[in-house]
Amino acid sequence: MDAATDACCEPSGQPTIDTYEAQLRASVFKALADPNRLRLLSIVKGSEGGEACVCDLTEPLSLGQPTVSHHLKILVDAGLLHREKRGTWAYYSLVPGAIERTTGLLESL
């Protein structure tokens, strides 16, 4: 055993994220890892009353309605958007505190 190998591998000084926590956090960032989904969040956030229905969202994204519904479902499953059905329409809005909770996932790495 020479000095070269010893110089490399030292024990870490701080606790790190375990595998399970990493999977949980990655699933949220996976929902954010698509430009169209980021635009969806942005448009919903900027809409009147803080909510928007699917018909508001298909045109600015230049995407088909099934694709937009698919992206919205991913954002809902990630806990970022809230879905409320009123009559024929489905209104999507930001989950309160979701953005702050997500930034916490980064700062506490």
Partner DNA sequence: CAGCTATATCGATGGTTGTCAATGTATGTG
Partner DNA sequence: CACATACATTGACAACCATCGATATAGCTG
Which positions touch its own copies (CB under 8 A)? 4, 8-17, 19, 22-23, 25-26, 29-30, 32-39, 41-43, 45-48, 52-53, 55-56, 60, 88-89, 99, 102-103, 106-107, 109
Phi-psi domain of 50 (left: phi exceeds 0; alpha: psi -120 through 50; beta: other): left
* Closest residue by Cα to residue 74 from 15, 33, 17, 13: 33
Q: Tell me the closest approach of the beta carbon of residue 98 to its own copies, in angstroms.
A: 10
| Binding positions for DNA, 6-65, rule CB under 7 A | 8, 30, 33-34, 36, 53-55, 63-65
Strands 81-86 and 89-94: antiparallel
